[in-house]
Amino acid sequence: MSDQFTKQKLWGGRFTGKTDPLMHAFNQSLRYDQRMHAADIRGSIAYAKALARVGILTGEEEVQIVEGLQAVEREWQSGQFVPAPDDEDIHTANERRLTELIGPLGGKLHTGRSRNDQVATDMRLWLLDQVVDVQTSLEGLVRVMVERADKERDILLPGYTHLQRGQPIRWSHLLLSHAFSFKNDLDRLRQLVPRISVLPLGSGALAGNPFAVDREFLARELGFMSLAENSMWGVSDRDFVAEFLMWSSLTMTHMSRLAEDLIVYSTAEFGFVTLSDAYSTGSSIMPQKKNPDSLELLRGKAGRIFGNMAGFLMTLKGLPSTYNKDMQEDKEPLFDTVDTVSASLKIAEGVIATMTVHGDRMRAALTMDMLATDLADYLVRKGVPFRETHHVSGRAVALAEARQCQLDALSVQDFKGLHEKFEDDVVGVFDFEASVERRTAIGVRVEGRWIGRLRCCGLRSLLHRDRDRNRSR
């Protein structure tokens, strides 16, 4: 029986001619879907138990099949599993090897089951495991950003809009602006889990299972949160793949924006940060170069992930109902995306944890014209409408430019000449630390400091500072 199994494809009874060798290679997916071997065996073990519950398998047969499947998994884990030339995919390979180990009994495992519901189940099981790893990596990135922000909260630098200096901010405020994006990505990933955790097994090829297998038992056995309530949808739905690719595209967009900021800040022109050697490379011709290749790769990977999503959606959009072979194209973009996102999160965590921040260079980049809004706000506090104060402050900036001096070099009399509401205390405006401290609305201030607040699943209350120590300042 085992020899016959290796010579005959699962679907081979209808066909008498040989498959074109090129077509066989074109059709074969084992080279990449073998990474789902553990998920496939988990699903098969649960299905064997379900068959035993309805009398298709005896108790002894169930034990033999389960033990045989466990033996197959041990071969995968030890690297001893040897694919056969006719193994089309991981499902064929595992069933073929099971039959070699336990004989014709292995052929009973596929009773009432189709590769259509089998592959859909495997993919969901596999992705649920991967999401756990991705979530852990994302939490690690957020954590290191928050911890760094906590330690470096006293560093000031220019805040930019349009890549032009705008207002003074804290480095921690900037770093956490990216952390909040990743925190939202973490929330979205958790929200995606219930839509992945839907059991297709028991849907058959499309019309359902004819042996009354207990699908609720299968869901419990495999840890699914719910089960597909329409068998046609169950075998054909790949929204969970598309949604994970969408989630990954947005997460990598955030990654790319973080990378872009740090690339700019690491240039000699800025000199705000220096990447560690572990995440930099040199030039093949210019010995002095230290290139931020890690960040550039992270920025570039965002395009790759978006391409995976766009390509898969183009495959999915024109398919008729239930399973079509086009769906085999779901695995490679999904696998590549999981690998790329997981690695990117770990690399980003390493970059953030090890880079050097040059607070002196950041502060040196602050210029007094960045306090022009504070100057306008000063007059607002004197009762002058903001539209008027904006104009007056602009005139003060123009006067300083004409004299080729900083805004704080203007005399009190100069300011009084611009508006009668200016008084001697106007000099207090020109203090960068005071500027950031004046902004006290929710969004930046935590327990008396200009900094964002971030909470992340199971993490400590981040950026906590002892209240008594703050009050003593």
Residue 363 domain flag: no
3-state SS class at 407? helix
Residue 92 domain flag: yes
Q: What is the pLDDT of residues 305-339, one digit of tens each?
A: 999 999 999 999 999 999 999 999 999 999 999 99
pLDDT value, residue 466: 31
pLDDT value, residue 21: 81
- Residue 287: DSSP 8-state: T
pLDDT value, residue 1: 38
One domain, residues 142 and 190: yes
Active site annotation includes 178:
no
Q: If you average pLDDT over residues 209-227, what whole number do you get?
A: 97
pLDDT at 240 exceeding the cut of 60: yes
Q: Which of residues 311, 331, 354 is at a domain's end?
A: 354
The boundaries of the domain holding residue 343 are 116-151+173-354
What is the band of 452 on the pLDDT scale with cuts at 50, 70, 90? very low
Q: What is the pLDDT of residues 285-301, one digit of tens each?
A: 777 778 899 999 999 99
- Per-residue CA distances from 3 to 83, 99, 105 (Å): 14, 9, 14
pLDDT value, residue 28: 80
pLDDT value, residue 8: 53
Q: Which amino acid is at 88?
A: E
3-state SS class at 446? strand
Q: If you average pLDDT over residues 378-407, what whole number do you get?
A: 94
One domain, residues 449 and 340: no
Q: If you average pLDDT over residues 188-206, what whole number do you get?
A: 97
One domain, residues 107 and 133: no
**What's the pTM value of the predicted model, to 2 decimals?**
0.89
| Domain at 327, CATH number | 1.20.200.10
pLDDT at 454 exceeding the cut of 70: no
Q: What is the pLDDT of residues 85-112, one digit of tens each?
A: 989 999 999 999 999 999 999 999 999 9
Q: If you average pLDDT over residues 425-431, what whole number do you get?
A: 95
Distance linking the first and last C-alpha atoms of the chain: 83
pLDDT value, residue 2: 41
Residue 361 domain flag: no
Closest to 120 (Cα-Cα) out of 211, 10, 34, 239? 239
Phi–psi pair at 384, nearest 5 degrees:
-90, 135
Q: Which of 78, 114, 137, 162 is catalytic?
A: 162
What is the band of 357 on the pLDDT scale with cuts at 50, 70, 90? very high
Residue 164 domain flag: no
Q: Which amino acid is at 64?
A: Q
Q: If you average pLDDT over residues 390-400, what whole number do you get?
A: 95
pLDDT value, residue 457: 40
Joined tokens for residue 250: 């947005």
DSSP 275-297: --GGG-B--SS-TT--B-HHHHH
CA quadruple 371, 372, 373, 374: dihedral sign = positive
DSSP 28-56: --HHHHGGGHHHHHHHHHHHHHHHHHTTS
Q: If you average pLDDT over residues 51-65, what whole number do you get?
A: 98
Comparison of pLDDT for 440 and 221, the residue scoring more: 221
Which stretches of 197-330 are DSSP H helices?
215-222, 231-236, 239-265, 293-316
Q: Check if the beta carbon of residue 139 is closer than 8 Å to that of residue 131.
A: no
One domain, residues 139 and 99: no
One domain, residues 190 and 300: yes
| Domain at 463, CATH number | 1.10.40.30
Residue 156 domain flag: no
One domain, residues 137 and 189: yes
One domain, residues 332 and 397: no
Residue 159 domain flag: no
Helix 59-78 vs helix 37-53: crossing angle, to nearest 10: 180
One domain, residues 142 and 84: no
Q: How many CB atoms lie within 10 A of CB 207?
A: 12
pLDDT value, residue 472: 35
| Domain at 74, CATH number | 1.10.275.10
One domain, residues 120 and 37: no
Joined tokens for residue 351: 């970059």
Residue 258 domain flag: yes
One domain, residues 332 and 428: no
pLDDT value, residue 410: 95
pLDDT value, residue 17: 59
Give the chain's domain count: 3
Q: If you average pLDDT over residues 133-153, what whole number do you get?
A: 95
What is the band of 444 on the pLDDT scale with cuts at 50, 70, 90? low
Instruction: Tell me the residue ranges of DSSP E strands in 323-434.
Output: 356-357
What is the band of 52 on the pLDDT scale with cuts at 50, 70, 90? very high
Active site annotation includes 283:
yes
- Per-residue CA distances from 69 to 180, 225, 299 (Å): 45, 25, 43
One domain, residues 293 and 425: no
Q: Which of 226, 283, 411, 461 is catalytic?
A: 283
Joined tokens for residue 25: 């290679």
Q: If you average pLDDT over residues 17-29, what whole number do you get?
A: 76
Out of 85-89, 182-186, 284-288, 440-444, the most confident range is 182-186
Q: If you average pLDDT over residues 183-208, what whole number do you get?
A: 97
Q: Which of residues 354, 382, 399 is at a domain's end?
A: 354
Q: Give every CB contact of residue 43 below 8 A, 6+ residues apart in sequence.
A: 118, 121, 122, 125, 201, 222
Q: Which of residues 111, 134, 159 is at a domain's end?
A: 111
pLDDT value, residue 46: 98
Average pLDDT, the chain: 90
One domain, residues 339 and 228: yes
Give bridge partners of residue 158 from the DSSP assignment: 168
Q: What is the pLDDT of residues 248-288, one digit of tens each?
A: 999 999 999 999 999 999 999 999 999 999 998 877 777 77
* Residue burial 293-327, b: 16+ Cβ < 10 Å; e: rest: ebbeebbebbebbbebbeebeebbeeeeebbeeeb
